[in-house]
Amino acid sequence: MTEPVNETHRAIEAVWRIESARLIGGLVRIVRDVGLAEDLAQDALVAALEQWPESGVPRNPGAWLMSTARRRAIDHFRHRGMADQKHEQLGREFDESQPDTAESLVGDMDDDISDDLLRLLFIACHPVLSIEARVALTLRLLGGLTTTEIARAFLVPEPTIAQRIVRAKRTLAEARVPYEVPRGADRAARITSVLGVIYLVFNEGYSATAGDDWMRPALCEDALRLGRILAGLAPDEAEVHGLVALMEIQASRSRARVGPGGEPILLMDQDRARWDRLLIGRGLTALARAEAIGGSLGPYALQAAIAACHARALRPEDTDWPRIVALYDALSELTPSPVIELNRAVAISMADGPAAGLDVVASLVDEPSLRGYHLLPAVRGDLLVKLGRLGEARSEFERAAFLTQNTRERHLLLERAAACQQS
C-alpha cells in the first residue's frame, strides 16, 4: 500500500506545481485577500493528500482543488459571520448543490486564468513591498515553491523567508492594494517591478551570489517559466519579450558554464557546441517579437541583443564586439549604471584593446557603489594580465576572491592569482 500512496503523493506534488498559481489567483479574485487565498489553497491541498490516495487522482485535479477551496471559503465566511455579501458572491459562482461542480468549473477557470495569473503577479511584485519580499512572495505564490525551497535557494534561514512572506501579506492588506490588473500608465510602471523580480530570480540562479554552487538551475527554470507566462499574458509589452529573450539566451549556456567538478567556465572559454541551440532559437524569436512591437528597445531587450551577438558567434573570435559596444552605449544612456559601465569596459577592451578598457575601469575605481563588488577587481585583473602587468593583476584577483561570497568563484579567482605569480 505504501508505494501507491507515495506515487499519489508525487502526483499531488506535480499537480500543485502546475495548478497552485492559477488556484490562488482565482481565489484572490473571489476573496480579495492574498493570505486567505493561499490558506484556502493549502486547505484544498491537505484535502487532496487525505482523499486522493483512497479515491485516486481526479480527471481534472485543478478543478477539484478549486471546488474544494471554494467550499472552504464559504465555510470561512459563515464562521466569521460575513456570509451575507461574501456568501452571496460565492454562491453565484459556485452552486453547492451540483454534484459535478468540479467538472463545471473547468471552462470558467480557463476563461479567467489569464487575468487571474496576471493579477496575482502584479500583486506579488507590488512596489509597496521590499524587493526581498517581492521575490519570496512571487516564488511562493506563482512558483509553487515551499518556504524551505526558497530559503535553500537563496541561502537564507527558513524563519527569515517565512517572516518575509507573512509581512508581505500583511503589508498588502494594510496598504489596501487593489486586487486588479493595473491599466495604462500605472500598468507600465508596475510591470517594471514585475520584470525586475523575475530577472533577479534568474540572476541568482545563473550566478549564485553565495554558497558552494556556481549555478542554481532550478531558479533559472522558475524565472523562465514566470517570464514565459507573463509573455503570454502581456503579449504587447516589448520589454516582457526582451526579458524572456535575455533569459532564454543566457540559459542556453548553462551546460557549458560549469565543468565536470562544478567549477566555473567563463564565457570566452566555453565549448560553444554545448550551448543549447533550441533555447537560443527561442531567445532570438522573443527578441524579434520585442523589436517588432516597435519603439526604442528597453534595457532588457538591449541586453538580449548583446546576448544574441554572443549566441550568433560560433567561435569567440567571431563575436561582433563593435556591435556589442554600441549596444552598451545605448544601454548606458538609457539606464546609467556603474555595473553597465563595467560591462561596457570589457566590451571596449575586446573591440579596441585592453588598455582602452582599463581606462574606462579606472574611472570606476572610486565609485562608492562598486566598493564591495568583486567583479570590479576581477575585470581589472583580467585586463592587467593581457597587458603583462602580472604583479598588479595578482593583487586584483586576490582582492576579488576576498570580496566574493561564492566558494566556486573564489577558488577560480585564487587560481588566476596563483597563475600570475607562477608566470
pLDDT in tens, 188-238: 778 888 898 899 889 888 877 767 676 778 888 888 988 998 898 889 999
pTM of the entire structure?
A: 0.78
Answer yes or no: is 15 within a domain: yes
Grid coordinates representing 62 are 485543478
Task: Report if residue 71 sits inside a domain.
Answer: yes
- d(CA 70, CA 64) in angstroms, rounded, equals 10
Residue 30 lies in a domain: yes
Please report whether residue 205 resides in a domain. no
The verdict on residue 306 lying in a domain is no
Q: What does the pLDDT profile of the chain (423 residues) look like in tens digits?
A: 445 567 777 887 877 877 888 899 889 888 888 889 989 998 988 888 888 888 888 888 888 999 899 888 888 887 776 555 554 555 555 444 343 444 444 444 444 446 788 888 888 888 899 989 998 998 888 877 788 888 877 778 999 999 999 999 999 989 988 887 777 777 777 888 889 889 988 988 887 776 767 677 888 888 898 899 889 888 999 999 999 999 999 999 999 999 888 888 999 999 999 999 999 999 999 999 999 998 889 999 999 999 999 999 999 999 999 999 999 999 999 999 999 999 999 999 999 999 999 999 999 999 998 988 999 999 999 999 999 999 999 999 999 999 998 899 999 999 999 999 876
In a domain, 45, yes or no: yes
Which residue range forms the structural domain that includes residue 89?
1-112
Give the model confidence (pLDDT) of 115-150 as tens digits.
Answer: 788 888 888 888 899 989 998 998 888 877 788 888
Is residue 124 domain-resident? no
Asked if residue 4 belongs to a domain, the reply is yes
Enter the C-alpha cell of residue 394. Answer: 595578482
Q: Which of 18, 28, 34 is nearest to 137 (CA)?
A: 34
Q: What is the pLDDT of residue 219?
A: 83
Q: Tally the domains of the chain.
A: 1
